[in-house]
Amino acid sequence: MSTLNNTPTDFASIAHRYIAVWNTTDDTERRQLIDALWSADAQYIDPLAIACGRQEIDATMAAVQRQFQGAGEFTLLGDVDNHHDQARFQWAFGPAGGEPMIIGSDVAVRDSRGQLSLVLGFLDRVPS
Per-domain residue ranges for the chain?
Answer: 8-125
Q: Please write the tens of the pLDDT for every residue from 79-102.
A: 999 999 999 999 999 999 899 999
**Looking at residue 2, what is its pLDDT?**
46
Q: Please write the tens of the pLDDT for every residue from 33-80.
A: 999 999 999 999 999 999 999 999 999 999 999 999 999 999 999 999
pLDDT of 6 higher than 90? no
HEC-encoded secondary structure of the chain:
CCCCCCCHHHHHHHHHHHHHHHHCCCHHHHHHHHHHHEEEEEEEEECCEEEECHHHHHHHHHHHHHHCCCCCEEEEEEEEEEECCEEEEEEEEECCCCCCCEEEEEEEEECCCCCEEEEEEEEEECCC
CATH 3.10.450.50 is held by the domain 8-125 = yes
